Amino acid sequence: MRNARRFMVSEFWPKNYEEFKGVLTDYGTEHNEWMRQVLTYWDMAAAMVLRGAVDEDLFFETNNEPYFLFAKFGAFIPAAREDFVNPDFLGNLEKLAARPRARQRINGLRERLARRTQAAAAKSVR
């Protein structure tokens, strides 16, 4: 799980949906396994929060990763649902991300991600 999390958080930076889909559909590869492992783990954890098995405030206070992953990949979810004819793909994570505190955190994370992208683009121009 550590390798999977490192890949998804630190190493995998798709520039568009096609790059995201490329890993999502590259069945049998380590990166595909890691992507599915991390995303389904956090979707399951979100389901536990939504069902009341885990206190939402406690979850929010002790986890940043699911919100970061949603900030990073959330824009790709609707297209993935359509491509794979799976309307429930990451549905629990999306519902949790729609909560007011979560939206606020995700917006801040998206701002940080945008600055990171801008800095990387500026660096590559040099």
Q: Which segments of the chain have a pLDDT < 70?
A: 121, 124-126
Taking the CA atoms of 22, 14, 94 and 82 in sequence, report the sign of the dihedral they define: negative
Q: Report the distance separating Cα 112 and Cα 5, nearest Å.
A: 19
Overall domain count for the chain: 1
pLDDT of amino acid 98? 97
pLDDT of amino acid 37? 97
pLDDT of amino acid 117? 77
Domain residues for the domain of 18 are 2-125
pLDDT of amino acid 126? 64
Q: Report the distance separating Cα 54 and Cα 7, nearest Å.
A: 26
pLDDT of amino acid 119? 77
pLDDT of amino acid 74? 97
